[in-house]
Structure 1
């Protein structure tokens, strides 16, 4: 007699609960994540073994591209509005509410103050293209032309808890980075971080 083989039964697994958990986790991470702001220029940071992290909030980032053009980012929209109005007063420039809103929507500061009004009247896509051609003036020889010093000093007056971080391309000449460091030293801002890409610790350490 041939053996009777039991009929195989398909196993059914209800994935509804797993789908619900996945959606909840995805929603949680989206609400709590800090998105990296869009940068006006592409920067490849040098590598280092330092694991010291910059703060997540109240950070002023100074970006230096390989040509030496300098941009600045403030992570708090309310700080950006106050800083723009204060810098405008120092240079005798009055900004409209529409221009202030446009400034807040831009992730980085990167225009000479004399061009700022016309710049903020442009559509956002034209602003992005134009910003790559300028940057904040950083002439350390003629102090009146060092607008970076004005932006940094004003930002620290608006928010004294701001931490400063410098992000430069790995191909940016050191003299251009030192120029920014000298500006910070002139303002008595001697504590700042250098943003790098983490690399593996050398053997033997």
Structure 2
């Protein structure tokens, strides 16, 4: 008795719908995600149980590395431009349009104001190497940190201040930053921490 031949069915699957969904998801994530700012130094933030999130706009972030060097960043290009111009007027420095343009696209700044023109004239890759070894002066003789905060606040009164410091940064450095903020009557600010896990309790 002969075997009955089973007719093979086509295994073709139309993937058009799947590729459409993939493109839509990719577009969604690209439009809704926020890019992480490039920081000149890596810091390990202390852990805490607080789950309060800092706002995503109108932020003046103060970054303090383990060596006590201070860096700052603003999230709006218009604020960066006006703050630099304010610092220029205060210290008698005129910045060229090209230097202002370069400063506006920088994510983090932190060199003494007298070195700012030379710093902005450097190519981007050299700026990164220079920046990590500098820092904004915050001593009693020349507290440029206070000047930056004051000028940033004059430009945008809605700014929220956030301090991000390494867990091994000496307390004396953090106290100096906080005292400078208090001198400006800036008594409200956020401390950026990482969330403590249950194993750390």
In 2, are the aligned partners of 1:136 and 1:148 still within 8 Å (CA)? yes
In 2, are the aligned partners of 1:153 and 1:187 still within 8 Å (CA)? yes
Tell which deviates more after alignment, 64-73 or 170-179. 170-179
Is 1:113–2:110 an aligned residue pair?
A: no
Deviations 1:80-126 (A, max 9, x none): 00000011000000000011011112111101001111111111111
Question: Where in structure 2 are there 5+ consecutive unaligned residues?
Answer: none
Is 1:42–2:42 an aligned residue pair?
A: yes
TM-superposed deviation, 1:172: 1.1
SS at match of 1:73: strand
Is 1:186–2:183 an aligned residue pair?
A: yes
Change (3 A) 1:177 1:2: farther
The number of equivalent residue pairs is 201
SS at match of 1:66: coil
**TM-score, structure 2 normalization:** 0.93
In 2, are the aligned partners of 1:49 and 1:201 still within 8 Å (CA)? no
Query: In 1, Cα distance between the equivalents of 2:118 and 2:138?
Result: 21
**TM-score, structure 1 normalization:** 0.92
Tell which deviates more after alignment, 25-34 or 47-56. 25-34
